[in-house]
Amino acid sequence: MAAPNLAKALFWGFFLERCILFVDSAVGVNWGTLSSHKLPPSVVVDLMRENKIGKVKLFDADPEVLWALRGSGIEVMVGIPNDLLAAVASSVAASDQWVGQNVSRYMVKGGVDIRYVAVGNEPFLTNYQGRYQSLVLPAMLNLQQSLARANLAGYIKLVVPCNADAYQSASVPSQGAFRPELTQIMTQLVSFLNSNGSPFVVNIYPFLSLYQSADFPQDYAFFEGSSHPVVDGQNVYYNAFDGNFDTLVAALSKIGYGQMPVAIGEVGWPTEGAPSANLSAARAFNQGLISHVLSNKGTPLRPGIPPVDIYLFSLLDEEQKNILPGNFERHWGLYSFDGQAKYPLNLGLGNGWLKNARNVPYLPSRWCIANPSQDLTSVTNHVKLACSFADCTTLYYGGSCNMIGEKGNISYAFNSYYQLQKQDSKSCDFDGLGIVTFLDPSVGDCRFLVGISDSSGCCLGCGILCALWFMSLWVIIYLRVFDSL
């Protein structure tokens, strides 16, 4: 009887394991706000609702953003920036204050549905040289107590978004392990997450693997199959996402948590700024990723068990992001800065192709270009000045405006600065080398932007009312002139 009982025990153990791990994946987005052309948060929330996006990950707890999310039904992950970890880790009072100001005040009827608090953002990144390592766990312990005091610990989970460089593999996924200096802290962290019902959150970027290595097989970054699969014993990997994911699974297994649920905090593909960053590649990757994850196929080490959630990076372009890693950093968005979809994409949420933002408060349709009647030989310093403030990354190699010629480059730089300055007439002077035009100078795929108004109080139809007002004024002036004749 021992063998049947053992078999039964193994069956129920396997069944319970899959019940714990198996959850239909949900697709969410990252909403970053490092832009000088910010859409009103209410417009962004309406955009997400229009596209049936039910989950959003934030990098901070911006009151204006959270205010706009009230009553939306969208599940929210708010973030504590790395530079706040020291204060929260060292002071229970600071932790209580942060939770009170950024979580509790919104958790009311008709408020914001906050489900996660992200403690730092990739705090174990190699480039930080251990600056935040010792702060993460103390911060989490204080925050957990603060949530408990606010009666929210049973509803809101703490997570730590980790970069994939927290683990490594010599050659194949099954050899995955956390970096030696992180083994102890990761064991403690994962134990904490596990005891509180939180997933392990990881950011996976096959694009960066391709960008950083000339030897990386391009087709391995996508999901159509690869002519260079990775063979790991009986398991064969045809795409980098699965290989990276299972490297993490192996690393978790080595510290005793092989069944830990995993969520993807960031994953995506930029549309320009590098040779491999373009609209067709971004669409192929993101559509392939969505189809792959929502198929519930899982990975070789977790067949039938997809990530619990994936958050696409990102919703909108952010032209103020640091471009030290590359110009592509400002072009990860599914949408351009103004909420216009860059390419057709089905998020698998029963809503068809991406829908564009509505009621975008654009500035007037006018642009700043190089004055065609002026000698432009002395323009170099003006262009450098314009691009030191505004975003000119689309002009560089791998950008959509890279081939518009010298005068086109000058005009693009002038206009970017002009729109950044909210179309201040003085900002198009450039010592007489710039001129304002009402004809769109965009060329092919190179779009000359029109900025967004700072005014969030714009109303639908205000432009029509202004036009009617000017027409009425013109009629009055005309009649008076006519009467005087």
Residue positions annotated with a catalytic role? 122, 266
Sign of CA dihedral 209, 212, 216, 221: positive
Q: Which DSSP category does 91 fall into? A: -
Using alpha carbons, select from 243, 126, 259 the residue that is nearest to residue 190.
259
Query: What H or E segment, with its residue span, contains residue 445?
Result: none
CB-based contacts of 353, cutoff 8 Å, min separation 6: 341, 344, 345, 346
Six-digit token string for 210: 């391709």
Residue listed under structure tokens 């608090």:
117
C-alpha to C-alpha distance for 419 and 264, rounded to whole angstroms: 35
How distant, in Å, are the alpha carbons of 11, 467, 471, 474 from that of 481?
Answer: 94, 21, 15, 11
Instruction: Give burial (CB, 10 Å; 0-12/13-18/19+) of 381.
Output: exposed
Using alpha carbons, select from 125, 141, 144 the residue that is nearest to residue 133.
125
Indicate the residue type of 194.
N
Beta strands in 154-250 (DSSP E): 157-159, 162-163, 167-168, 177-178, 200-203, 230-232, 235-237
Indicate the residue type of 59.
F
> Are the beta carbons of 72 and 45 closer than 8 angstroms?
yes
Residue listed under structure tokens 């312990």:
141
Query: What H or E segment, with its residue span, contains residue 184?
Result: helix 183-195
Write phi, then psi, for 146 (nearest 5 degrees): -65, -40
